[in-house]
Amino acid sequence: MAQSYIPAGTDVICTEMLSTLPSQIVTEREAKVLYGKESKALLNTFDKKLSCQLQCRIKVSYYEGLSSLLLGLALGAAVVALTVLTFGAGTAVVAAAVLTTGALGGAAIFYGDKAHKSRQAPHECDSTQGGTWELYHSNVYIEKANALLERSFLTCKKGGVVSLVMSHEKALELSKKISDSNKKILELNYYSNASQGFIGSVANAFKASGAGDVVGLIIGSDWRCMIMFRVQTRTIVIKICRISMNMLVKS
């Protein structure tokens, strides 16, 4: 089957997109090889710029996953705080549980906001410029670089795969399907992380025998999950522990 060369402005979709609309592949070079009445540049493997971002699921998933896990831990800590308060536990124990609830809840809100902002970031898909084109024409060059073909796809350094779609109607249809699928994945991950954090913190916190145990077991219950969320998560946990330990020393 014959493969067409690709003019600038061709629709593209991504395996990790949340947007329901496609983007377009454009060129930032001063093109000399032009196509059609509109004199559009024919694209080569140097061309990786998208006209608009596609709302990357990978980055949103990272922030939403962290936010939901912290939210679950915060809700679990709140249950512990209410329980120890109801049964007349010592002031230090109650204060430790309340402080942990507030700190985790604040962190959950912070990362939830980061997830929202990453959806709207105008240059989020500039990461494609660090990616690599595959299945380009191996023998035809356009301005000293291999020509792109309909079958060509671009692997983004974040992990998504950007594909060319010659029909705008087909691009709209595929964008909607991919977006719906990725949104379902995000939703499932969100509730899974939140429930895991909640159940883990409540189950472990009730093993505590003092204020230090309350803080340590609530946070430690999901350390094996939180370790996957890079340095930011560890920083939050360390700060919470330091604040709680200072409070215990003063009490």
pLDDT, residue 230, reads 40
Dist. CA 68–CA 108, nearest whole Å: 7
User: What would the pLDDT profile of 139-190 be if each residue is shown by its tens digit?
Assistant: 999 999 999 999 999 999 888 999 999 999 999 999 999 999 999 999 988 8
Asked whether the beta carbons of 71 and 194 are under 8 A apart, the reply is: yes
Q: In terms of pTM, does the model score above 0.95? A: no
Give phi and psi for 13, each to the nearest 5: -130, 165
Distance of CA 127 to the CA centre of its chain: 14
CA distances from 100 to 22, 39, 41, 90 (A): 43, 62, 58, 16
Distance of CA 95 to the CA centre of its chain: 34
The structure tokens listed for 156 are 């983004």
User: What would the pLDDT profile of 46-99 be if each residue is shown by its tens digit?
Assistant: 999 999 889 989 888 888 888 888 888 778 777 766 766 665 555 655 566 667
CA distances from 62 to 67, 106, 119, 235 (A): 9, 17, 12, 16
CA distances from 124 to 121, 130, 158, 213 (A): 5, 12, 10, 42
pLDDT, residue 217, reads 46
pLDDT band, residue 201 (cuts 50/70/90): low
